[in-house]
Structure formats: C-alpha cells, structure tokens
Amino acid sequence: MARLARLLHDLIRQAFTQESTKGELHAQYDAFKKILIGDLLVDQFADMYAQTIAYGLFAARCNHTGAGFTRQNAGRDLPKTNPFLRKLFNIIAGADLDERISWAVDDLAELLAKADMGAILADFGTTRRRGDPIIHFYETFLAAYDPKLRELRGVYYTPEPVVGYIVRSADAFLKRDFKLAQGLADSSRVKLRRPKPQGKGQETYETHRVQILDPACGTGTFLHAVIADQRFLVRSGPTRLRSIGIAYVAGLGRSALRP
C-alpha cells in the first residue's frame, strides 16, 4: 500500500509538471495553499494528495461491507464523523480524477478490495492492541511510505494505557493542587486583563479556567481520551449524556491527515 502511495506521489508530481498553469492540479494546488498551508511546495502538495487518497481509501475500506469496493464508491464509505476528509476525498479522487493518476488509485482500491479486512482488524479493540485502526494506521503507514517524513513530523503512537494514565494524572493534579473538584471537567471561568485590540490601555475579559491544549496533537489520541472519558459526562435524561466540562479543548499540528 505504501509503495502504491509513493508511486501515486510521483505520478501527481509528474502530471503537475506537464500540465499548464490552468490545469486541474494547479487549481487544486492553489486551493490547498489558500485554505490549508500558504507556503505549500509542489512536492508537499503531491505528498499530501497521495497520502489523503491512500488514507481515505483505507478508512473507507474499514467501513465498507460486502463486495464491490472501488474508488468510485469509496467516498460513501468514509466516516461521516470526518466531513473534511469526505469532501476532500470526493474532490481529489472522484469521477473527474486525471487519467494519468486514476489507474494507480484504482490499483490501490483493488488491493484493499482483495484484502482480508477481518484479519487485519481482528486484534483492534483488545487490550493488547490499539483501539481504532483508522486513527492509528497512519503511524504504521508513514513508517513504510516515508520514514524520514515520519521522524520529521514526530508521528509516533502513544499506547492508550499511557495516554489514559497521563490524562488521569492531569485530572488528579487539578483536583489536588488547584482545588478544582471537577478536575479536567471544571467549567468555571476567570477574569483576566489584556491589551485592547485598538487604542491604548487594557480591558477585562472572561475565559475558561481550565483549558486543554495538545501542541502536537497528531491523530488526536490525547484529546480523544479526555473527551471520551465517561467521568466528564453526566446524565441529562434516561439515556442521554451531556458534557459538564471540557470547556476548551484544542490541538495543534501540521500533519497531512487528521481523522
């Protein structure tokens, strides 16, 4: 799969070089620069393009049931919880995909169609393996696709027991040292001072006392652990749950793919 993704990268790079500046790839490249990364290089664009298609096909195959998995219908199988990936995949790998590229994408889809997904996913969700193959596939894929890029981006999986321990420790730290009974779920607010956006002097503003930031979120494992922890939820009815905290959660990163 990584070899086909690398081939796809090279095909995209070649097709981009050969077409005019008014071609479809150039239009997509300009859109990527405008919306995602302003200083995006052509080789980075080809890399992002290839990885998004490969990741999108894998994610779609994980959700697909029955026979007949192809590039053309993969978009319907992508998780609805990731609308960005669904829309981007359908734009760059849909019916209008350049013929100089489409054959390699179809080969990748055929490879996944023939794969025994039951065997691939068998150990996921157990205590011995990673819980979500779609999230944690990226580290393994990138190690084969481009080991140097993986090291540059710091794409390394943190085992879920370690993530859980760190999250619980942060929660306990807030309760013990900061006397916040709800810990990470604290929803209280505090008033602070900051320079006025216009003119001189300062102004008072209100913000959440507890703010959660992962400065290198990658696939969002830590943020997911915080949000998914049942201790931060309370029942608002017989079967419904609502969040009582997690007032401010954010993650930063510069990865081509985020599920």
Q: Which residues pair with 234 in a beta bridge?
A: 242
**Residue written as token pair 């011995």:** 128
In whole angstroms, what is the distance from residue 244 CA to residue 128 CA?
Answer: 31
Q: Does residue 69 sit in helix, strand or coil? A: coil
The domain locations on the chain are: 2-153, 160-251
Cα distances (Å, whole numbers) of residue 209 to 94, 150, 189: 45, 35, 5
The token pair that represents 252 in the structure block: 């930063």
pTM to 2 decimal places: 0.60
Q: What is the pLDDT of residues 140-154, one digit of tens each?
A: 777 777 767 655 555
Instruction: Give the per-residue pLDDT at 226.
Output: 80
Task: Determine the Cα–Cα distance for residues 53 and 108; give it in Å rounded to an integer.
Answer: 9
The residue-averaged pLDDT of 157-185 equals: 85
Question: What is the tens place of the pLDDT at every residue in 60-92?
Answer: 888 888 888 988 888 888 877 777 778 878 877
pLDDT range class, residue 17, cuts 50, 70, 90: very high
- Asked if residues 209 and 147 have their Cβ atoms less than 8 Å apart, the reply is no
Cα–Cα distance for residue pair 11/172, rounded to 1 Å = 51
Residues 29, 92: Cα–Cα separation, whole Å: 11
Q: Residue 186: how many CB atoms within 10 A of its CB?
A: 21
- Residue 237 confidence (pLDDT) above 50: no
